[in-house]
Amino acid sequence: MASTERRGPRQIYAAFLWSMKGLKACFRHEASFRLEVFLAVAVVPLGLWLGHGAVEKIVLITFPILVLSAELLNSAIEAVVDKVSPEFHELAGRAKDMGSAAVFLLMMMVLVSWALILVPRFL
């Protein structure tokens, strides 16, 4: 076992720092991620306020957070594809489009879950 390996709390702290570095990079370089962060900052507290009971609150806040997670993964895919294949290639375009589609599907889940939970209250 190499002496440079991190174990326990140090490893957790290092992983935390790498995660913060990734969030910062995505926020700095990806306009769509910035927009989704601003929306999440608005809708997560709103979901906690409007949800009746724990399950509704969890549903209303989980999907916006999943959108952010998918956007991070999509941005990572795009960065790797651009690095590996700077010229256009059908497979590179397909990979980027699929990542974008994953984000889109989660955004639709945000709309559907919010509508199913909140619309009946106002009818």
Domain ranges of the chain: 30-122
| Encoded tokens for 82 | 């651009």
**Sign (positive/negative) of CA torsion 100, 101, 105, 111?**
positive
Cite the DSSP H helix spans in 30-89: 31-50, 53-84
For 8-55, how does the pLDDT look when each residue is reduced to its tens digit (9 = 90+)?
A: 999 999 999 999 999 999 999 999 999 999 999 999 999 999 999 999
Average pLDDT of the chain, as a whole number: 93
pLDDT at 5: 64
Known binding residues for a divalent metal cation are: 30, 78
Active site residues: 71
pLDDT at 88: 86
| CATH number 3.40.50.1000 given to 30-122 | no
- Which of 70, 68, 56 is closest to 115 using CA atoms? 56
Cβ atoms of 15 and 46 closer than 8 Å: no
Known binding residues for substrate are: 71, 100
**3-class DSSP state of 103:** helix
| Encoded tokens for 78 | 């795009």
For 60-97, how does the pLDDT look when each residue is reduced to its tens digit (9 = 90+)?
A: 999 999 999 999 999 999 999 999 988 888 999 999 99
Banded model confidence at residue 122, pLDDT cuts 50, 70, 90:
confident
